[in-house]
Amino acid sequence: MKQPNRVKAARRAGRKAYGYNLSFPSPWVIDILGKLDFDFVFIDGEHGPFGLDQLEDLCRTAERHNLTTIARVPDIGSSTILRYLDRGIMGILGPHIATEADARQLVRACYFGPLGERSFGANRGTDYNAGIADKAAYYREANEQMLVSGSRQDNAGNHKSHPTGRAHDATGRDAGGVGQRHAARCGSSYFIIVAGWPKLPP
């Protein structure tokens, strides 16, 4: 199993998680900043020029420094998200989540069953299927470590009016938000979507 998700661990511990944004593919930046004990690196796969082989190198470098990798994906298509997860990404930010159907699709793509429909492949994102004796237990742990969030990017919306603006995790606790940009300034807000939220599939 991959290392624990430090962003989720920070939330459970009641502290802030600290990280930085990477908008271009450079494992050297991660290597240098790895000395500063950040919790995560945020990879902008929607706007940045990231190839799949580069993503894998970034994940490998981040893991050496116990960093959690979170990526904004180009779109919320299942095949797109799966390719990011299969490289080793542990958190997904889905762009342009405008409807409940979008939120449902995002969850389906990110989680293994029964929470979602993520498929299992023998690659580095799933430990190359090495030493996994109990697949059901592996899926549960992988789901527990997965951070799923979405962004609404328009000129009129705001965090509170969005259908997924309030979320709950599988234990019913308030999941809160991962940060919000003022809609009047740049038209974007971020929020967490966690499987187990009452309006999402069980």
Q: What is the reported pTM?
A: 0.80
> Could you tell me which of 38, 33, 32, 28 has the C-alpha nearest to residue 67?
38
Contacts of 119 (CB under 8 A, 6+ apart): 82
Q: Give backbone dihedrals phi and psi of 151, rounded to 5 degrees, phi first.
A: -130, 140
Residue 165 class from Cβ within 10 Å (0-12 exposed, 13-18 middle, 19+ buried)?
Answer: middle
Find the catalytic residue in 47, 65, 96, 162: 47
Active site (annotated) includes residue 162: no
Blockwise average pLDDT, block size 10, the chain, 202 residues = 87 92 94 94 95 95 96 96 96 91 94 94 86 91 93 55 37 32 39 46 39
Q: Please say whether the dihedral angle defined by the alpha carbons of residues 65, 70, 72 and 74, taken in this order, is positive or negative.
A: positive
Query: Hey, what domains does the chain have and what are their CATH numbers?
Result: 6-192 (3.20.20.60)
